[in-house]
Amino acid sequence: MDKEKYLQKILQSQTLSPDSEELKALQGHRADVEALLRKHFDKSSPTIRYGGSKAKGTMISEAYDLDLIVYFPHDDSPAGETLEDICNNVRKALSAKYLVQPKQSALRLQDNNPKNAGVDFHIDVVPGRYTDDSNTDAFLFQASGEKKRLKTNLDVHINHVKDSGVRDAIRLLKLWRVRNGVNIKHFPLELVIIELLRGKKSSSLSQQLDHVWTEFRDNVDDITIDDPANPTGNDLSELLNDAVRSELSSVAYITLNNIDKLGWESVLGPSEDNEEDRVVSLRQAAATVIKPTKPWSADSPRRPPKIPHLWPLENPPFDHRESDQ
């Protein structure tokens, strides 16, 4: 199959239709969460809206989450005097109905029914407070870090991705990240992809992906991240630390090698709709795997790669779901 048609089929397979059971469940839970919070904070009138991949148009079915933004007015005090108070009070309110798992800036919701063993609802609630009455910039509480807060702007982030012209590439590279267990969060990955493809919006999808992986493999130390909502105020360097850079480089090396030796299906999986054809294709790829050139040879990247990856027959034994914020 032509590689561009193949990539489009992969994108199609990763698209959640508006009437899918997954989206219906997300929207149902979103309505429940909003009703609960509005009742609990009836004196505060918080802004509650979609964020993350749902709002940006970069959701994939293999790792889908719903970010629900809950921002309070800048002069509101009933919700809490400090950002930490707001986060704790939102957590307490949600705990009446959900098992709440705190994250860096978000609250992950799970089923609190013991019979369901903490079933994940794929929802992250992100509490915050607007910086002024323009209701644009907002502060989020940070569980770690020196300042314990992060200044951000939801609309700037959403528009930065929606208007990037490379959302298909972002979705495919998010799938690559999940299937290879690459330990980089969605938000910095999106920013890096947009920057690397700034001059390649008119290139084909395969050319865009090849360029990003080549940059990861050969020039990962030169890659920087700027937050479009606060480029001089937010230090995002820890999101692209040495460990993450090394992993991006080594997995990109394996990816490009596998594409060259085995084809695109060895990286993103087969596009067959038929399950039997899919399994046969995977077994054929596994049977013909070629050992890659040692990465420490003269013509290879300096970082040792991971064990060559082939798209798994079953679900991957890792969980890299997290808020896009």
CATH code at position 212: 1.10.1410
User: Could you tell me the two tokens for 123?
Assistant: 């929802």
Same domain, 19 and 148: yes
| pLDDT at res. 293 | 35
Same domain, 233 and 115: no
Per-residue pLDDT tens over the stretch 96-108:
999 999 998 999 9
How many Cα atoms occupy the beta-carbon half-sphere of 91 within 13 Å? 15
Q: Determine the structural domain holding residue 30 and report its residue range.
A: 13-153
Q: Which residue has the higher pLDDT, 117 or 99?
A: 99
**Among 112, 133, 153, which residue terminates a domain?**
153
Mean pLDDT, the chain, integer: 84
Rounded CA-CA distance 197/202 in Å is 9
Write the CA distances from 46 to 32, 136, 220, 257, integer angstroms.
15, 13, 41, 50
**Predicted confidence band of residue 324 (pLDDT cuts 50, 70, 90):** low
**Predicted confidence band of residue 273 (pLDDT cuts 50, 70, 90):** low
Please, which residues have CB within 8 angstroms of residue 34's CB and are 6 or more apart in sequence?
48, 68
Average pLDDT for 58-84: 93
Q: Is residue 325 part of a domain?
A: no
How many Cα atoms occupy the beta-carbon half-sphere of 256 within 13 Å? 22
Same domain, 248 and 178: yes
Q: Is the pLDDT confidence value at 319 over 80?
A: no
Rg of the chain over Cα atoms, rounded to whole angstroms, equals 21
CATH classification at residue 125: 3.30.460.90
Same domain, 26 and 7: no
Average pLDDT for 217-226: 94
pTM of the model: 0.81
Q: Is residue 317 part of a domain?
A: no
Same domain, 33 and 144: yes
Number of separate domains in the chain:
2
